[in-house]
Chains A and B, each alone.
Chain A
Amino acid sequence: DTGVSQDPRHKITKRGQNVTFRCDPISEHNRLYWYRQTLGQGPEFLTYFQNEAQLEKSRLLSDRFSAERPKGSFSTLEIQRTEQGDSAMYLCASSLGLGQGDTQYFGPGTRLTVL
């Protein structure tokens, strides 16, 4: 399977715990994006990387959230001191980042439940 993959698919945690999600983009895709989706809503942009560089961050990305893409391949999204409001589906997408070729393909998501 050469699509975007995410791990884990589901995560249940207690309030105050830290969690980390991983995303592996489509091979050779330079851009990697993180979105958050709550029930009944469309995905909302969090941040994106061009290779290793984090180029844009949404105001939704509070100080408790940090994303990395150290080698320009996979990315991790960490949430510290989780809150119940962090419960959502966290989606990763990747794209070639070449003008009209900048079409984003999504992974299956990580469903986070904070108790």
Chain B
Amino acid sequence: GQQLNQSPQSMFIQEGEDVSMNCTSSSIFNTWLWYKQDPGEGPVLLIALYKAGELTSNGRLTAQFGITRKDSFLNISASIPSDVGIYFCAGRETSGSRLTFGEGTQLTVNP
């Protein structure tokens, strides 16, 4: 099925470092969502973005909806060990309700 291009695929960082990941699509989306998934669990919503150019924060997390409506990024500041997990971007096209997901970014934080 269709997938978004999410990068990087994996990141290994030291505790306290900042992290940035992004997603790009060939389709225009009217919604971008960022989820975190722990092993054996479902995705947990982190941030939802609804307007082009929107910049939204949730604690140490900040995400932006790209002006072209074809991309989004997620930043995590001052990473901590519990940030470990897989981060997924997801987008929804104007014409539908289904979400299209990226392939995920595996984040490892070394104490």
Contacts and interface: CB of A to CB of B under 8 A. Distances in A.
Interface residues of B, number: 27
A70 to B, nearest CB: 20
Contact of B97 (A4, A40, A48, A105): A48
A109 B41 contact: yes
- Interface class of chain B by DSSP: loop
Contact of A45 (B33, B50, B100): B100
Nearest to B45: A105
A45 B99 contact: yes
Contacts of B42: 4, 6, 91, 93, 106-109
Contacts of B97: 31, 33, 48, 55-56, 97, 102
Interface in A25-76: 31, 33, 35, 40-45, 48, 55-56, 58, 60
Contacts of A35: 99
B79 to A, nearest CB: 22
A60 B1 contact: yes
Contact of B41 (A31, A41, A60, A108): A108
Contacts of A97: 97
A38 B41 CA distance: 13
B102 A100 contact: no
Contacts of A43: 43, 88, 99, 101
B15 interface: no
A42 B3 contact: yes
Contacts of A41: 3, 103-104
A6 B92 CA distance: 24
Contacts of A104: 33, 45, 99
Interface of A: 4, 6, 31, 33, 35, 40-45, 48, 55-56, 58, 60, 91, 93, 97, 100, 102-109, 111
**6 closest A-B pairs (Cβ-Cβ)?**
A42-B101, A106-B42, A45-B98, A44-B1, A109-B42, A100-B50
